[in-house]
Structure 1
Amino acid sequence: MSVNQVPPHHLGISPDFLHEKGQIKISTEEMARPPNEELDIFKHDGSHFLVQSPYTEQDHLLDLRTLDAENALLARALARMENLRPDYATASYVESFNWNEILQELERLVRTHGYRWKETSFFIVAFRSQIPPTTVYEDLGALDKVAHTEAIASGGFLKYWFGHPDKDGRNLATCLWRSQEDATKGGVGPGHRKAAAATRSLYTHWKIDRHRLIIRDDVKNWEIIDWE
C-alpha cells in the first residue's frame, strides 16, 4: 500500500507511507532533566491528562507524563487550536489555523514555568478528503474513534483536529505528533487496518500532506514546512 493507493482512516496516518525517520536527538543536557513527575508543567488543571481531540473519554486523553517538556508544553498550547477560515478543506494549511495564537500561548507557558525551550521539530499529517453523498458520516466517526484510542495508546500523539464536510463532501483532518516514528507506530493497530480497508467505499478522493513544525530556541520564531 502506498500514499497514492488506499488512504489511512480519518486520522491520516499509516505505517506504509511513513517510511522516513523523524526522531529528535536527545542531548546530554536534556537527559539530565528531572523526571516528568517532578515538573509542574506536566499537570493540566490539576491533572496529568489532557483532552487533545474531540473525544473526551478517558481512553482518548493524552497523559502528559509520557512526554518530555517541549512536547508536553506544545500539547497544552495546542488546546487552543481552531480554524480561522471555513474553507480549510482546500485552503493553505498554515493559513487555516490560529498558529500565531498557539505559539503565543506556548511562549506564555514557557515563560510561566521558567523553562528554557530548545529547538524542536514536530511531525504533522494533513488528510484532505472528499466523501460521496452515500457515505454515512457516523460510520466514519465510529471507525475514527477506535483508531484514535489506538493512536493515543501508542504514544507521542499531541493533537487531533478534524472539521466537517462542506457542501461538496470535502474535509480536512490533521494530526500533530512528537515524531514521524510515533505516527508510524500509531497506525499499526487492528482499528486502523479496519478503517483503511473501508476507505475505498467511503471516500471518492483523498490526499495526504506531511509537514514539519519547527519551533526555535526560546520560542523566538517558528515555521511550518513540507516534510522532506
Structure 2
Amino acid sequence: MAVVSSPTLTFQALERHEVPNALKSSAGLQDPISRSKPGSLSEDRYLVISPYDEKPHLLDLETLDKPNQLLARALLVLKCLREDYATAPYVETFNWQGIIDSLRELAKTSNYTWKEESFYIVVFRSQVPPETVAHYSDLGLLDKAAHAEAVESGGFLKYWFGEPDKNGRNLATCVWRSSRDAEIGSIGPKHRVAANAARHMYTEWKIERLRLLVKDDLRGWEIHQWVD
C-alpha cells in the first residue's frame, strides 16, 4: 500500500479547532478499575485489551461469540519481539505463534472445537516530525478518546502501540472481529478528530489491512493481505 505523505499543521492550529473538545471529552474516561466499586467488574467478563485500563476501554466478553472470546483472551499474551517494530515485517514483530498456542490451550480448556475463522487486523505506521514530539501526550489523549469510542462500537479485540523511534517512526495495530466492526468503529466523532490530527501532524503515515486466518482445529494459521 502506498505511503501517504501529508503537509504538517502546527499543533497550535489544531488546538483552536477539534483538539480542545476531544481532550475535554477524554477527561470523562478517567474511571480506572482500581477505583471501581468492589465486585462491580468481573475479570471473567471484562478484559484489558489495550494500554488503557479505565472502565470505558474494557472489552465485554458477553458481546462476543465463543471463538472471538477465546481469541481476545489469547491476545492477552501478545508481545512485541523486536526493537525495530516501526519498520520490521509485521508478522515477525509479534509472538503470533505464542498467541495461537495460548488459543489452543483455551479452546481445549473450554472443550471447544475450533472451526476456521478469520479476523481483521489494522496496522498503522507513522512518522512524526520533531516539532510534534513535544505534543505527543496530547496526541495520546486523542487516541485514548477514539479507543473508548471504538470499544463501545463493538468487536474490538486488541490494541497495541509503541513509541516513536529516533527518527519519529512508530507502529500501532489492532485486531477486530471483522472488517465491518472496524469500519463502524472508525466513523465516530472522536475517531475523526484523531484521524485529522494524524493527517496533519504526521509527516508520513500508512495503513495496512491484514487477515488473520486460524484453521480448523487450530492446525495452522496465517496472516496475509486483506482482500474484500
Tell me if both proteins adopt one fold, taking TM over 0.5 as the criterion: yes
In the alignment, the residues of structure 2 paired with residue 148 and residue 200 of structure 1 have an alpha-carbon distance, to the nearest angstrom, of 18
Asked whether the equivalents of residues 5 and 205 of structure 2 are also in contact (C-alpha less than 8 Å), the reply is: no
Cα 1:129–1:114 change in 2 (3 A) is: same
Please give the residue correspondences for 1:18-29 in structure 2 after superposition, counting only pairs within 5 Å.
none
Pick one of 105, 109, 134 that aligns with 2:106.
109
In the alignment, the residues of structure 2 paired with residue 66 and residue 4 of structure 1 have an alpha-carbon distance, to the nearest angstrom, of 35
Cα 1:197–1:69 change in 2 (3 A) is: same
Give the SS at the match of 1:83: coil
Letter in 2 for 1:101: G
Give the SS at the match of 1:165: coil
1:168-199 C-alpha deviation (Å, 9 max, x unpaired): 00000001000000000001111011112222
Long gaps (5+) in structure 2:
7-40
In the alignment, the residues of structure 2 paired with residue 223 and residue 166 of structure 1 have an alpha-carbon distance, to the nearest angstrom, of 28
Long gaps (5+) in structure 1:
7-43
Please give the residue correspondences for 1:59-138 in structure 2 after superposition, counting only pairs within 5 Å.
59-135=56-132, 136-138=135-137
Q: Percent identity?
A: 60
Pick one of 27, 51, 60 that aligns with 1:54.
51
2:166 corresponds in structure 1 to 167
Number of matched pairs: 190
Give the SS at the match of 1:134: helix
Letter in 1 for 2:127: Q
Letter in 1 for 2:102: E
- TM-score of the pair, normalised by structure 1: 0.80
Give the superposed CA RMSD.
1.8
In the alignment, the residues of structure 2 paired with residue 189 and residue 200 of structure 1 have an alpha-carbon distance, to the nearest angstrom, of 16
In the alignment, the residues of structure 2 paired with residue 76 and residue 132 of structure 1 have an alpha-carbon distance, to the nearest angstrom, of 36
1:36-59 C-alpha deviation (Å, 9 max, x unpaired): xxxxxxxx9743000000000000
- TM-score of the pair, normalised by structure 2: 0.80
In the alignment, the residues of structure 2 paired with residue 61 and residue 154 of structure 1 have an alpha-carbon distance, to the nearest angstrom, of 12
Shift of 1:140: 1.1
2:201 corresponds in structure 1 to 202
1:186 corresponds in structure 2 to 185
Q: Which runs of 4+ in 1 moved over 6 A?
A: none
Which of the pair is proportionally richer in helix?
2
